[in-house]
Amino acid sequence: MIGIISAMQEEMQALLNELKNVSTSEKGMRTYYSGTLFNKNVVLVFSRWGKVASAVTTTQLINDFNVSEIIFTGVAGGIINELNIGDIVIGKNMYQHDLNASPFYEKLEIPILKKKFLKTTDATKLLEATTSFLSTYNKYIENADAQLFEITNPKVIFGDIASGDQFISSLKKIKKLNKLIPTATCVEMEGASVAQVCFEYDMPFSIIRIISDKANDNATIDFPKFANSIASNYALGILKNYFA
């Protein structure tokens, strides 16, 4: 059983539409959708936004659904010039950019674990699946939707990701993040908390992030529309290749 999480239902709607033999269960104010997706047994759930919400959801998946792997998929804001809207980041090292337990621990260091970041599981297969998806991009993304969000020649990179409980929407905050975590490529609100739970439970996990904005002063985008028409279909195409 593979657990698939998104912060918003719109980010996984295309997956829900393809889910077969569906059964649902309600736990902790969340709906868990079990079934088969491309002949794989899966359970899908949207966690809601933020580190606490995603940590709770991940813990529930591990304890109640006997999952062997967790995949988080959703949108993120790019914080390096090389990333454009529609590009994909497959997570490498996951940082909590708002974690600061000094003077007891160094900034960014996770108490007790004594790690400043957590590594995702080997991403070779996921990167190959994403590259395959991009080669058949037009099968999943409508031309009009790509044009609406000015997506041209989307690419995938394997990079570090920063997570924190705040929406980053200013150049000033981006500059602080660039200084704090020079290797970070994008910023979001859940990935590093999923990473910590999976690390503590020895659970393989992956993070897929679709760039929806540049996390700057111009970060005004129709997120539900982008999530539903772009990010959701990206997840569908990537996971179809990943499960093949």
Active site positions, annotated? 11, 213
- Token representation of residue 208: 């897929």
Residue whose C-alpha is closest to residue 157's, from 136, 175, 135, 184: 184
**CA gap 230, 75 in Å, rounded:** 10
Sign of CA dihedral 161, 185, 216, 231: negative
Q: Is 35 exposed, middle or buried (0-12, 13-18, 19+ CB in 10 A)?
A: middle
Please give the structure tokens belonging to residue 212.
């929806």
Q: How far is CA 10 from the centre of its chain?
A: 13
Residue 14, H or E segment? helix 13-18
- The conformation of residue 110, written as its DSSP 8-state character, comes to B
8-state DSSP, 79? -
Contacts of 39 (CB under 8 A, 6+ apart): 243
Task: Quote the CA–CA distance of 91 and 119 in Å, as a whole number.
Answer: 8
Give the DSSP letter of residue 174: H
